[in-house]
Structure formats: structure tokens, C-alpha cells
Structure 1
Amino acid sequence: MSTESNKVKNEVLIRTLIDELTNAIRTKDVDRLTSCYAADTVMFVLAPPLQIKGNEGSSKKNLEEWFASFQGSIGYEIRDLHITTSDEVAFCYSLNQISGTRSDGSKTDIWVRETLCFYKINSEWKILHQHQSVPFYMDGSNKAAIDLKP
């Protein structure tokens, strides 16, 4: 198989994994979501702690708590997805919208920046690194700029 056709095939497989991750978030399926990650993944996500290594119990606990903070499903949309692949390593970046009604009745609608790094393990793509962030206002308030829209 040519290198170009390998890249196309790998991009399709990465998109399929991202779709799996997205659907798991929308349906609040912790096990399905964590199955997208490598055992030794490192995550820098929006909620504490500063980093999570591997599919630690704390990762599942954090996800369960986050999912429970929403009434019903979670809105999760990906915009401006860019994927780069090779035979064993890939990465992507995107702008992702998280929306929904919280358990207290308040509404959430924010955009975050995300970078995912993938590694092919036993012919299967897994997320090896995740980094999410929101910009912050540099006017001295240090407030997260969660009102920005693409």
C-alpha cells in the first residue's frame, strides 16, 4: 500500500475513534470513553487535577462526576478538525463546543481548544495524550474567556 493510501486509511481510523469519543461524551458513557485511551495516556483536561496519567480510577471518577453534573445528554460538537497521520503516530487539533443543562438548571455553552495525540498499539489507534484549554483574559482578572465563539 502506498504511503498516501496509508495516510488516508489512518485518517479514517482516527476520525472513527474521534466519533467514538464524541458519542461516548454525548451519551455519558464512561467505559466507552476511557476505552479510546491508551493505558499510559497523559491528560491535561479542563477540570483538576493538573494532569491525569493513565486510565486511573480518578479519571473515571472525575468523568462520572462531570457527567452527573448534566441533566440528560451533553452537547459536544467538533469544529475545524485537522488531522495529521503517519504509520504509528498521529495528532489532531480542533475547537470543541460543550453545551447542555446542568443538574442545577444552569446552561453551559463553551468552546475549548483540544489537541489529541494518537499511537497505534497492536494495529489499533489509541489516544496517548490529550490537552484541552480555554484562553484567559490577560487584563489582570485572569478569568477564563469562556464567552468566546469561533
Structure 2
Amino acid sequence: MSSTDEIDAQEISTVITAAEAAMKDADAQRLIDRYTADVVKFDLAPPLGRRSDDARDVARQQAWFGTFDGPVDFQVTQLEIEVGGDVAWAHSLNRMSATPQGTDFAFEMWFRASYGLRKTPDGWRIAHEHTSTPFYMDGSLRAATDLKP
């Protein structure tokens, strides 16, 4: 990896891991600012996908934060980045833990994330994000949210 690619990879890492503090602080704007204007997102929650302004809906994200009592603990782990000029891709295993509003217990889940990034005049931004959980193929079709790396 060239020194330019190494600098880009560090900037990309900063963009992706900025979600950790933004989630803990319930800062929807900071979370959304990491995306390009034409971002395509395939989130854990329905629908199957969102694009552009729909994917960058700060009010929706802020409302989601309001469904929890206290902060959302979020951690990006095993992040791997590949840079190729003005585009890059990355993937990670992420952990999220929070206490749903009205309950007295926190959940913890691990999930997969893939990112496509583009270098913009404002720096690296996420142009595509895909998060998913595996499911048990034992006939139950139950999401495997109990898995840990």
C-alpha cells in the first residue's frame, strides 16, 4: 500500500468509526454527515433499502435513538479497508448494545457491515452501506443475533 493509500485508509477508518461516538451521543446529524448525497443503504431495519435523502433522514435517525433508554453502545471491529484511487471498500463486524425504552434489560448483537466509499471534495464519504445478520438455516429462519466473533 502506498503512503497515499495509507493516509486515505486512515481517513476512511475515521469516517467509519465515527459512528461509535455518534451512536453513543445520539447525534443523528453527525452519523448522517458521513454519507454522500446519493448514498444507498441496506440497513438491518426495514425496508429493504433506502437511497439519497430517504437514507439521510436525520429526523428518522433521531427518532430511532429515542426508542432507547440511555446511549447506544456501538463498536466497529475487524475493520478492513481497500483503497483504489478515489473509491474504496471496507467491511467490519460491528457490535451494538442498548436498552429498549420501557424495558429493564439491554440487548447485545453482532452484525456484518460492508461499505463502499468515494473521495469527495469534502473528504471520504460512505456511498454504499450494507448491514446484515446471518440467519439459522435449520428451518426456523430465525435471525442469528446471538452470534459473537
Per the TM superposition, whether the score is higher than 0.5 is: yes
C-alpha distance in 2, partners of 1:55/1:86?
27
Matched, 1:15 2:17: no
What is the match of residue 112 of structure 2? 113
C-alpha spacing 1:86/1:71, structure 2 compared with 1 (3 Å)? same
CA contact (8 A) 2:39 2:55 kept: no
Three-state SS of the structure 2 residue aligned to 1:6 is helix
| TM-aligned CA deviation for residue 110 of structure 1 | 0.2
C-alpha distance in 2, partners of 1:113/1:25?
17
Q: Structure 2: 5+ residue runs without aligned partners?
A: none
Aligned counterpart in structure 2 of residue 62 of structure 1, from 55, 60, 63: 60
| TM-aligned CA deviation for residue 30 of structure 1 | 0.7
What's the Cα RMSD here?
Answer: 1.6
Of 27-36 and 13-22, more deviation after overlay is shown by 13-22
| TM-aligned CA deviation for residue 58 of structure 1 | 7.3
What is the match of residue 133 of structure 2? 134
Aligned counterpart in structure 2 of residue 32 of structure 1, from 27, 30, 48: 30
- Superposed, 1:40-119 pairs within 5 Å as 40-56=38-54, 59-105=57-103, 106-119=105-118
Q: Structure 1: 5+ residue runs without aligned partners?
A: none
| TM-score, normalised via structure 2 length | 0.92
Of 17-26 and 49-58, more deviation after overlay is shown by 49-58
CA contact (8 A) 2:110 2:133 kept: yes
C-alpha distance in 2, partners of 1:67/1:137?
28
CA contact (8 A) 2:72 2:97 kept: yes
C-alpha distance in 1, partners of 2:79/2:4?
19
| TM-score, normalised via structure 1 length | 0.91
- The alignment of Structure 1 onto Structure 2 pairs a total of residues equal to 148
Identity %: 35
C-alpha distance in 2, partners of 1:87/1:64?
34
Of 56-65 and 103-112, more deviation after overlay is shown by 56-65
C-alpha spacing 1:69/1:13, structure 2 compared with 1 (3 Å)? same
Q: Which has the higher strand share?
A: 1
Q: 1:18-66 CA deviation, whole Å, 9 max, x = no partner?
A: 2322211121111111100000000000011110101327733432232
C-alpha distance in 1, partners of 2:144/2:14?
31
